[in-house]
Amino acid sequence: MLMSGAAGASLFDKNLRGAILGGAIGAVIGGAIAFKTEFGQNMVPVQGYGVLILIGFITAVVLTELRMPLIGVKYFHLLDLALTGCLLGILGARIFYVLMNWNDFTPWTNGVFDASRLPRMLYIWEGGLVFYGAFLVAIPWTYLYCRRHKLPAIPLLDLAAPSLIIGQAFGRIGCFMTGCCFGRVCTLPWAVTFPGRADNLPGSPPFEAQVALGQISAQAARSAPVHPTQLYSSLAAFLTYAFLYTYWPRRKYDGQVFALTLIMAGTTRFFEEMLRNDDAPPFPQIAESVTIAQWLAIPIVLIGFAFLFYFRKKNTIFVPPTMPI
């Protein structure tokens, strides 16, 4: 599959694949040099957060690949989009998180520049990827890629955009394992608690947040019970993807599924934020309880409705070519 793609790809694409492959090989070699091989010594920790993101990525690619023949696009285009989109998506998601939590990452402390704080911006294994960042980067990149390679952009977005949601579904389980994106304190039977401090290491994100607010003692073993908002979000994402996946064959016009993806993603996130407790409202003078994610959800939903009416007015259905593009 990769060889057939390389044969018809531009020199830019070949170099890009080579750079990605070289980077992967370099990472393996670097890991072999940096860590000893003796069993039980200096072992590389496996982070559940990263594993779940990887599972979500692979699942999204496989489910999209199964349907690529339905729009007459060759498989190698999906591989290119998956690799580049993943890298750009993670970058966008991390940048978005850092900007949303700038006070935790800024190298300027008390008027002094502290360069030692800069590397922490890259510590994605600690959690801290905002789905909106990946979402807002991956979609424009997919459109630009399609324009460059003369592919049907809107039909491909119809097919691929829901896969971002299935990736989020697995990623939120990773959030639950890390403790980020936590919910408000509650007493429901399914409320969960997260670990406190141990061996002079910080506690989980909800634990540290509750200590800072004076809700629990720093010596407590675990956090107070909270809503498992990560699992709420995961369930909502799975249901959203299931609907979009089954609706795709029944779509009335090109762009409908893509527009519905924006509407459903923004709507579910807006209501999820009502139960979350990890983000402070950015504009309390305007709305004391509206988070930045909710402020962003509003235009995303409105843009989705605008696209829905726009594509409905165009009322076109892409007919796949006899020979794959």
287 and 197 share a domain? no
Contact status, residue 175 vs residue 195, Cβ threshold 8 Å: no
The answer to the question of residue 216 being in a domain is yes
Report the domain count for the chain.
2
> Does any domain span residue 291?
yes
Tokens 């699942």, residue located? 59
For residue 102, being part of any structural domain is answered with yes
- Of 168, 196, 226, which closes a domain? 226
Maximum distance among all Cα pairs of the chain, rounded to whole angstroms: 68
Residue 49, pLDDT score: 79
Confirm whether 38 is domain-assigned: no
Residue 294 lies in a domain: yes
Based on the fold, state whether residues 221 and 119 are members of the same structural domain. Answer: no
Instruction: Specify whether 172 is located in the same domain as 283.
Output: yes
**Residue 156, Cβ neighbours under 10 Å: how many?**
25
Whether residues 52 and 121 share a domain: the answer is: yes
Q: What is the mean pLDDT of each run of 10 residues along the chain (325 residues)?
A: 42 48 49 46 67 87 89 87 84 83 77 77 72 81 91 94 91 91 94 92 91 93 96 97 94 96 95 87 81 91 96 93 82
pLDDT at 95: 85
Query: Do residues 208 and 259 share a domain?
Result: no
Q: What's the pLDDT score for residue 126?
A: 64
Indicate if 251 and 275 belong to the same structural domain: yes
The rounded distance, in Å, linking the Cα atoms of 79 and 82 is: 5
Residues whose CB falls within 8 Å of the CB of residue 204, separated by 6 or more in sequence, listed in order: 178, 179, 194, 195, 196, 223
First-to-last alpha carbon distance for the chain, in angstroms, is 14
- The boundaries of the domain holding residue 199 are 185-226
Does 34 reside within a domain? no
What is the rounded CA–CA span in Å between residue 227 and residue 208? 16
- The tokens describing 98, both together, are 């850092």
Report how far residue 197's alpha carbon sits from residue 207's, in angstroms, rounded to the nearest whole number: 8
- What pTM did the predictor assign? 0.80
Same domain flag for 95 and 238: yes
14 lies in some domain: no
91 with 214, same domain? no
By the 10 Å C-beta count (0-12 exposed, 13-18 middle, 19+ buried), 277 is classed as buried
Q: Give the SS3 label for residue 195.
A: strand
For residues 75 and 204, membership in a common domain is answered with: no
Cα gap 213→255, rounded to integer Å: 46
pLDDT at 122: 80
